[in-house]
Structure 1
């Protein structure tokens, strides 16, 4: 069973804060900022409060405060100063740290309060690019280094997903479809479940008044083919995060081209980590590979303007 994590190695602190382990040790010895505990077998570990303190110190340091000055503050003064700076500045870094703490503690209330504070000052698009994207990139590293468990990842992903869905539902009730000629079909390939980026693209397309059909996770190519019976021009959009595997990704795209794109007005836009394994010289000219979600949206906007 996955429990709340309360003990952290110095490598955990490094991964979570971005501060090198060597630097943490120097701060610990020189300024007495942290007091690690020891297990029965004499292995050093740090508490959750030490992690919170390190995240706050890191935040203050990035905002111009010298560690020597921070060390002279009382422990209760540090979070108050962090809050004061975060309120006076457009501080996305602090929000990322709060979301990390919410994830580690499975603390839904902290997630919601942090998100609500952000949404009072930023659009969902700004929150996604400035806060969620850096957070998700960091979570990928934390998962790979065993700092967090899949349970932590799923917890935070589902909360972000809920917020994107709520905002999409709100704008879909008031926005009108501007161009019904082009249909955007958003899907993930077989066994691909990482859909946050795709959900955000769907939100942005809905906000722009485009006609989008969201199919979601793990959609077989043959199922996509049925849509071609209904629409003459489909722009398929997908994200390859862990699937298809590099050994089969090019065969997947060949099959997609043969079944969906050939002799049609349809096209496919792809982003995601797995896209680096695509052999672009053999790629169908109706398939476009882009690096980021923003690149995808910019390209779709450009395509739509040219069509208009």
Structure 2
């Protein structure tokens, strides 16, 4: 059983801590526990409840009415809302619930429904990737535990691999070498980049997670790609990111290097001219669209 602070509830549900406390006192919605040292905390059931309350309230249902619902009535109403609403925020909220509950069936239904409605690419860009960005930050700050993040990330990874397998390279376009640095295991954004590149008719050499420097150099010698793409979420560390990117630029001076990821967000890094930082996945897609490709 996980333990959450009121700040964790705020970050996961979007409801201000002050409002949570008011609802708690006025409507008895939550029943916080206390540690042996008298520190208040909330459990998984409390988190699921406040997530449901937040979604219902965001969709115009008054808190006084929500407070009179049973847990089962809330769940039923939430499912009804998310099935008829295609607002991105509602879908992301539903994915948070699926993650907290380790509910694979709910995750599959949400994703499948959205893919049918808006397509795989738009589902990734507008729902899955913002959701993963949110839980990535929450994981970094300890608001969710690694098991929850791993559960949902692996489900997304499976979807991406299936989608990538359906893309066939027919020749032409540019050549891209995709890799993650040694010690880096978060490959969702890299997999989606691979999907986008292939869908626009480019050649992709995918090395994936935890690529040793020597392996990267050996593959580069064989393929001589015009572009290298990497993502830095946890490794290298903050202090090592700039030297790492400088070394990449110097090691592969004839290629354009594109880097993204949590470790470069909002940072003013001094880098070689052939290294370009892209903070968000949509930037990478916009860059790819402008390249000559074989896409019809």
Q: TM-score range by the shorter chain?
A: 0.7 to 0.9
Structure 1 residue aligned with 2:251:
259
| Residues 1:64 and 1:107: Cα distance change in structure 2 (over 3 Å) | closer
Q: How does 1:1-308 map to 2 (within 5 A)?
A: 5=2, 8-36=4-32, 44-73=40-69, 75-169=71-165, 171-172=166-167, 175-180=168-173, 182-261=174-253, 264=254, 266-275=255-264, 276-277=266-267, 279-280=269-270, 283-304=271-292
> What SS does structure 1 have at the residue aligned with 2:276?
strand
Normalising by the residue count of structure 1, what TM-score does the alignment of the two structures yield? Answer: 0.82
> What SS does structure 2 have at the residue aligned with 1:215?
strand
Query: C-alpha separation between the residues in 2 aligned to 1:122 and 1:82?
Result: 21
- Tell whether the 8 Å contact from 1:246 to 1:277 is kept in structure 2 after alignment: no
In the TM superposition, residue 77 of structure 1 has moved relative to its aligned partner by 3.4
Count of residues in Structure 1 that have an aligned counterpart in Structure 2: 292
Query: C-alpha separation between the residues in 2 aligned to 1:229 and 1:185?
Result: 11
> What SS does structure 2 have at the residue aligned with 1:268?
strand
Query: C-alpha separation between the residues in 1 aligned to 2:268 and 2:172?
Result: 32
| Residues 1:127 and 1:154: Cα distance change in structure 2 (over 3 Å) | same
| Structure 1 vs Structure 2 CA RMSD | 2.7
Query: C-alpha separation between the residues in 1 aligned to 2:249 and 2:141?
Result: 37
- Tell whether the 8 Å contact from 1:249 to 1:277 is kept in structure 2 after alignment: no
Query: C-alpha separation between the residues in 1 aligned to 2:237 and 2:219?
Result: 25
My pick for the range that moved more, 34-43 or 72-81, is: 34-43
Query: C-alpha separation between the residues in 1 aligned to 2:104 and 2:185?
Result: 22
Of structures 1 and 2, the one with the larger relative CO (CA 8 A, separation 6+) is 2
| Residues 1:246 and 1:36: Cα distance change in structure 2 (over 3 Å) | closer
- Tell whether the 8 Å contact from 1:8 to 1:45 is kept in structure 2 after alignment: yes
In the TM superposition, residue 45 of structure 1 has moved relative to its aligned partner by 4.6
My pick for the range that moved more, 159-168 or 251-260, is: 251-260
In the TM superposition, residue 212 of structure 1 has moved relative to its aligned partner by 0.8
In the TM superposition, residue 42 of structure 1 has moved relative to its aligned partner by 6.2
Larger Rg: 1
Query: C-alpha separation between the residues in 2 aligned to 1:68 and 1:87?
Result: 24
- Tell whether the 8 Å contact from 1:240 to 1:271 is kept in structure 2 after alignment: yes
| Residues 1:176 and 1:189: Cα distance change in structure 2 (over 3 Å) | closer
- Tell whether the 8 Å contact from 2:102 to 2:151 is kept in structure 1 after alignment: yes
In the TM superposition, residue 233 of structure 1 has moved relative to its aligned partner by 4.5
> What SS does structure 2 have at the residue aligned with 1:206?
helix
> What SS does structure 2 have at the residue aligned with 1:54?
helix
Residue ranges of structure 2 left out of the alignment (5+ in a row): none
My pick for the range that moved more, 15-24 or 244-253, is: 244-253
- C-alpha deviations, 1:46-73, integer Å up to 9, x for none? 4544332321221122222332343344
